[in-house]
Amino acid sequence: MEGLLLRLSALDADAEAAVRVIACFDALVEGRASLPALVRCAAGLAECPAGLVLPGVEPIRMREDGSELSAPAPAMEFGAVESGAVDLDGSGRVWLERPGPARPLDDLVLERFAMAARLLADRPRRDTSPHLADPGLVELVLAERAAAEDRTRALRLLGFDTAGPVRVIAVSAPAGQAGAAVVRLFSRGRAGGRLRAAAIGEVQAVLLQPRPGGPDEVARLRAALGEHDPRDVGVRIGVGGPVDGLDARSSWTQARTALRFAVAGAAERAVVDHGSLGSLALLADLPVERLRADPDVAALDRLAATPFGAQAIAALEALCRNGSLRRAAAVLHLHHSSVAARLEHVEDALGLSLDEPDGRFRARLALTARGLARSAAVTPRGRA
């Protein structure tokens, strides 16, 4: 422990992040995780590709989003790896493939990666059951057609209390980075309970069993996104409601619906709780083609394509979210007369008055419908 404390004090990065790195690898060893899961964890923590070579084991390389890379190139196999590598007592090697300079935690990730690899390679598995971090178990819990006994077994193998409530969270990010976003956000936000994740299509499904009395997940995720990490640009999150473990599929459906309402940008808009949508969730049942064909939605699309359209749409969003012209102006850091001028373009496009309650309701409905139609193009439904 003294050596660990000395090591943490020497790190430039936050020591709390280092403790989370150690805890992650310790959990994998304790759960007898598979070697691919170990490499996937290392890549996610380091946020760059990682690899492992052991005698009698196919070489493993993983991207930071959890997807597999092809087998190592000859230069990688037991050769020098510029971004960092550790030999496993002459019987193998683990490495990171960072294209740029090393980060403060790279040495610690490599050290714990190597220690876990040695332990998992030498430790026999209890049986041939899928290991606790197997994404296939998460998919089984969320599958549309699965027997109750199979869901129960999957929940137990994942380490969940089958009698306790679970929530499902859907995470989307550009360029296939949803897996890395999950690792980053849930580590940063100190998840209050047990969680497991799996990629379903281009969306990451996070199965979470909150700790009793733990933090509110929506508030915690908004706080994590509110740190304004540039890597979080484009991240959107939908949160399903708490349900019985055997009914996790319904929370997954809610999470995907909430994800369609999420708008990348401010944390308040990027994280949507299905429970807060109320009757607005009914709009998600409308076919996308019908939403796009609505005259008001089409009018907003035409307005958005004009030189001043993006500013006018942003002014309308601010007005709908804040309730008054002056509060919208404060949020946009503009004079209220400038916001009023932009809203005139919206009134002309829709043929209504935003001073009238019915006009404002119609404009907000059109704005929401347009957002749902646009989100359908970037939120695939996935397999489960």
- Domain harbouring 179, CATH code: 3.30.70
Is 382 inside any structural domain?
Answer: no
- Considering the entire predicted model, what is its pTM? 0.63
Residue 273 β-bridge partners: 239
Is 274 inside any structural domain?
Answer: yes
Q: Tell me the pLDDT band of 131, cut-offs 50, 70 and 90.
A: very low
Question: Is the pLDDT score of 5 beyond 50?
Answer: no
Same domain, 115 and 56: yes
Looking at 285, 318, 346, which one is the last position of a domain?
A: 285
Same domain, 161 and 59: no
| H/E run at residue 86 | strand 85-87
- What's the longest Cα–Cα distance across the chain? 76
Of 52-61, 274-283, 329-338, the one with minimum mean pLDDT is 52-61
Same domain, 321 and 278: no
Is 329 inside any structural domain?
Answer: yes
Same domain, 258 and 325: no
Same domain, 207 and 305: no
Higher local confidence (pLDDT), 215 or 14:
215
Same domain, 363 and 273: no
In this structure, what token pair is assigned to residue 22? 């150690």
Q: What angle do CA 322, 325, 327 make, to 5 degrees?
A: 45
By residue count, the chain amounts to 384
CB 225 within 8 A of CB 231: no
Rounded distance, CA 287 to CA 147, Å?
Answer: 30
Same domain, 52 and 75: yes
Most confident of 22-36, 126-140, 314-328: 314-328
Is 358 inside any structural domain?
Answer: yes
Same domain, 258 and 364: no
Same domain, 142 and 276: yes
Higher local confidence (pLDDT), 8 or 219:
219
pLDDT of residue 362: 94
The sign of the torsion formed by the CA atoms of 280, 374, 182, 108 equals negative
Same domain, 317 and 337: yes
Question: Is the pLDDT score of 126 beyond 60?
Answer: no
Query: Tens of pLDDT along 43-56?
Result: 888 888 899 988 77
pLDDT of residue 313: 92
Is 168 inside any structural domain?
Answer: yes
CB 236 within 8 A of CB 189: no
Query: Tens of pLDDT along 322-340?
Result: 889 999 899 889 999 999 9
Same domain, 158 and 269: yes
Question: Is the pLDDT score of 127 beyond 70?
Answer: no
For residue 45, give the CATH number of its domain: 3.30.450
For residue 315, give the CATH number of its domain: 1.10.10
Number of domains forming the structure of the chain: 3
The strand pair at 85-87 and 93-96 is best described as antiparallel
Looking at 266, 285, 304, which one is the last position of a domain?
A: 285
Average pLDDT of the residues in 3-30? 62
Q: Enumerate residues 6+ apart whose C-beta is below 8 A from 212.
A: none
Is 381 inside any structural domain?
Answer: no
Rounded distance, CA 288 to CA 292, Å?
Answer: 6
Question: Is the pLDDT score of 367 beyond 60?
Answer: yes
Residues of the domain holding 334: 288-375
Looking at 285, 304, 339, which one is the last position of a domain?
A: 285
Same domain, 154 and 165: yes
Is 205 inside any structural domain?
Answer: yes
Average pLDDT, the chain: 81
Is 129 inside any structural domain?
Answer: no
